[in-house]
Structure 1
Amino acid sequence: MTLVFMVMFVSAHASIALHDQTFQKDYPHSGPSLVCDQCPPGTYLRAPCSSSQKSDCAKCPDGSFTELWNSITKCLRCSMCDVNQVVTKECSSSNNCQCECKEGYFFNKKYDACVKHKECMPGYGVNVTGTPHRDTQCALCQPGFYSDGFSAKDLCVAHRKCEDDGFRVVLKGREWHDTLCASCQDLKTRDGAEYLHEILPTFFIKLQQTMGIKKMRRFGMKLSQLGGKTTARETIMKLSKSGLNDFINSWVQKAGNDQVRKLPEILGKIGSPQEGEKLQCKLEYIEQQSKLCDGLNE
């Protein structure tokens, strides 16, 4: 019984396969319908069968293809890769061109297009690396690790261990900045604001992520008034958020120690007192480390 069933099963599949590779051609005015062979992948039907000859199949011209058994009279045109895609398999007579998102991009079903991988912001590292088929996944840096920039590839990095280099901790590391180290000699000769200045670029990157454009403009005005060449109010008020980011970053790079010390007060005046307190606490911690060095011989 089982053997009979198997024979019937195989025969049925053979019949289906044969049926899939044939088609019926009707000749309403010249005779009965005929069962013609379909053309194999990579070819097309140049002429159907007749009572005296089989189907005439021809190879697809360059730039066209057929992937299945068919009875079409013209091959399909090869596809072109979309923007931000690369070819993973060239088109041939028997297969279409295959594409995927290029390096740094993934296919977003919502937009039906390849879009850039998300960049993890300061304080976050890559948890799952992006591929052409999925976006980057970020995770908050664990205690003892940090990330101080935007990246779609970088992991969180371990904080520096000052004692390994024979230095003292000037400022403990956080998830968004490294531990700052120095010798007592440096602490005695350098202004504490110089150490604080080292983490300001990343501090303001994080701050700008939460600031509205109106507050950023007020902040830009206050910075402009801190000595040096004052930028016209009209100029600052016309800046976009991107332009304000550039203005603030440029100010940070050029800021002197006295200007850095006034930042906590300015942040309080524009409505960000908590951020100002954070900077003030860091500055006081740095200066406390300097005092602890008094009397020590290094």
Structure 2
Amino acid sequence: MTFLCSGVWVLLSILVHSSISTVIRDTPNLGTYTHDGVTCFQCPPGTYVDRHCTGDFTYSVCNDCPVGTFQTHYSQATGCSPCQTFCRHDDKMEVVENCTSTHDLKCQCKRGYYLMVVNKFLNTKMCKAFTTCPDGQVVLRNGTSTSDTECGHCPDGQFSRKGQCAVCSSCTEKNLTEVSPCSGTADAQCGQHQLTDTTKASTEVVTRQDLQSNDGADITTIVIPVVCLFAIAVTIVLLVLRLTGQRGKTTIHSDDSPLIQRAFLTNPNSSRKQRTLSGSSISSVRSESIFPDMRDKDVWRNEVFTLLSSRLGTDWKRFMRKLPGNKDYHSTINSRCDQIQQEEANDVREQIYKALNEWSLSNEDDYVKIDSVLDTLYDMYESDQTLYNDVRILSCRLATREKTNTSEECV
């Protein structure tokens, strides 16, 4: 009898655990929590716990969130959060989606504005009007509800026309003389060669003198000066053609990528070397390193990542998207950032450090270097280089400590 009871108990245990495994497998987002020593399943989004479960791995009694409240995750919360009744931060924001039982009121800046973080630590934001690109610059990327318009300069051999980069005209290819060179805002101006006008003027002189030959003047006193003038004019024109021919040998960009993607995203007055964009993020690696001796990631990774974790704040996802990396990295970075945010909820510093660490482990050494971090900071915060300078100073200190620094950045 005892043996029979033991067998029945083992069978029931197997069935219960099998049932629990099936539930967890079929609902991968379903979590558990402990209440009074009993393990209960959490309530799904849009609901709250009305009564806790009384048996291990059973469901609590879940009720729908009342109107005007919401719950975004599986939880053991015994109540729902109240919905926002208006868009905060700025009067230039508008509602894009009303509050539901599973999410709060959703807002975004009105058309022509983007959401800018004023204080990362206090999470204060405001809507700011899109930047208008000044004369001589072109729009590299249109503004969105969360990012400003990005402006840049056309590369050498091109000029801006109606907000786009166009290739400068070559006067020599048209057999013309360059009157004014191509600039950042205007195409080269070409004109007719001086030879044409000189020949015409010489012809007119000879014709007028021929008409007056009946006055008895000696024909030699007319022809000789005309021939000399003509020879001098031809000599001048040949010199001009030679000079303009050398000046006109301008290299024209011949790659097939759109001109807008070859524009430089940099301030022309900056002392830093210009960098080109490639696609929607900085995916190219600079050939000349400003910290060539800091190849060992262990020298800088821990301290620099810690500094970035305390300073990037809510802007960290955009920073991760702009970091250079391989194709796999850029194809998964958006979804991975969202996952990290859920895994490390309520701890922004840990989210940033975890994302940076994965970047350094999942990419090749050519991408993972201190120059990639500095270039990304420089391009993200072009108007405020405070964080860039702090990371640069820290890098110089680390390089000096390791006795590897040869960078002009630290002089």
Same fold (TM over 0.5): no
TM-score (norm 2): 0.29
TM-score (norm 1): 0.38
